[in-house]
Amino acid sequence: MTEFPHTTLPIPNDWDRAGLPGWTYHSPEMFALEREKLFLTHWQIAGHVNDIPAPGDWLTFDMLGERAVVMRGADGVVRAFHNLCRHRGARVVDGDKGHCRGSIVCPFHGWVYNLDGTLRGAARPSTFGDMDRDKFGLMPIEMELFHGFVFLRSGPGPQPPVAELLAPFDADFAAYDLDKVVSVPTPNWMTDLPVNWKSVRDVDNEGYHVALAHPGLQELYGRTYRDLHLENGLSVSVGWFGDAPGRGWSVRNYVRISPERPDLPGHLQKAWTYYGLFPNAVFAFTPEAVQFYQEIPLSPGLTRLTGRLYRHPDESRQARIARYLAMRIDRATSQEDQQLSIWSDESMKSDAFEGFHLSDLEYGLRRHHDGLRALMPVMTLAEAPPEGEIRARNDELICRSERQG
């Protein structure tokens, strides 16, 4: 079997095989705490700089009430701002992506911003008294780039800079020439699933279910699949194909057509590789394409599954066909995972649910839960505090830990 360069953290001989208590999946107050402690303070993937190749091109990213716009300026520099006019808070751009000709014009009252976010002028400026335009530019939002991918977060948090955080992935990302990838004609997708976001992540964080629940993946690479657990909430899952022809139409033809990539290091050739980033994002690489996907929580019981797909700029006809076949396999896998997420999520509302009992092959799920517990220790409680008291109980547990630590 091909050797992977990353060393996985060892699984303890005697570890707590329980998962999070069921109440943490359906509590409105817990969801509000996750918004504050997790999603607004951890890096999220907004897209790729090649999604906005020309000056004036923009894309948006929304997360739990915070709205961002990523725009390429007249100087070619990519910047990120809160998608919020400084006059009355309207969106300055609307939609997933678009283009502004030379300036951004708020659709509410017509305030005009330069492509670098500075305020060019307010409509009827004499009605605002002595207003200093320099103080009313679009508000910047924290942004970092990593191999062309755009990362945002709405406020400071515990994660280090993206390049430092994702340093273990740097060599692999460089091997794929990610700075050069371009969007496919339909680059992004979106599905709203009636589950808590953690139920989606629970399914995706372990490979124990692959053999039975994903016949296509099992046929493609199930014999070689493995999960690797890294520091700082990172993970790698990988499976190598080509040692068996496959029986299903998509897998059989994909294995036959997928192009050789001698330019890639050995561990990435004929591999489907998934790079996980805490708390809710994954990059997925195949020899012919690159994608990212993530869960955007909308409410305690509703989650938006979204992502974007990219191809190599010099894509051959063979690679394009392989990408189509890979998409068929991936689409079936996604539908299977969605059903598993629904079943898992609804079980936690049952009085008969007594929690998880995890296999060693599900250790990645446990590590994700441990990351959540570290930030929100109230999740360690088997019984739910009354709604309205969860935040106070969490603060109490944090203070207790700090006194003891």
Instruction: Tell me the three-class secondary structure of 165-187, residue by residue.
Output: HCHHHHHHHHHCCHHHCEEEEEE
Q: Where are the domains of the chain?
A: 1-42+170-405, 43-156
Strand order in the sheet with 271-277: 182-193, 302-311, 289-299, 281-286, 271-277, 234-240, 226-229
- Report which of residues 2 and 75 the model is more confident about: 75
Average pLDDT value for residue range 288-317 = 96
- Whole-number average pLDDT of the chain: 95
Domain 43-156 is classified in which CATH homologous superfamily? Rieske [2Fe-2S] iron-sulphur domain (2.102.10.10)
Pick the CATH number of 1-42+170-405 from 3.90.380.10, 3.90.950.10, 3.40.50.300, 3.30.230.70: 3.90.380.10
* Per-residue pLDDT tens digits for 230-272: 999 999 999 999 888 888 999 999 999 999 999 999 999 999 9
Question: Is a pLDDT exceeding 70 seen at residue 2?
Answer: no
- Matching fold, domains 1-42+170-405 and 43-156: no
Question: Is a pLDDT exceeding 60 seen at residue 1?
Answer: no
pLDDT for the residue numbered 6: 80
Distance between CA atoms of residues 362 and 367, nearest Å? 9
Distance between CA atoms of residues 163 and 248, nearest Å? 40
Average pLDDT value for residue range 97-116 = 96
Please state which of the ranges 1-15, 285-299, 327-341, 386-400 shows the lowest mean pLDDT: 1-15
Residue 55 Cα to chain centre, angstroms:
26
In terms of C-beta density within 10 A (0-12 exposed, 13-18 middle, 19 or more buried), how is residue 283 classed?
buried
For residue 265, report the phi and psi dihedrals to the nearest 5 degrees. Answer: -60, 160
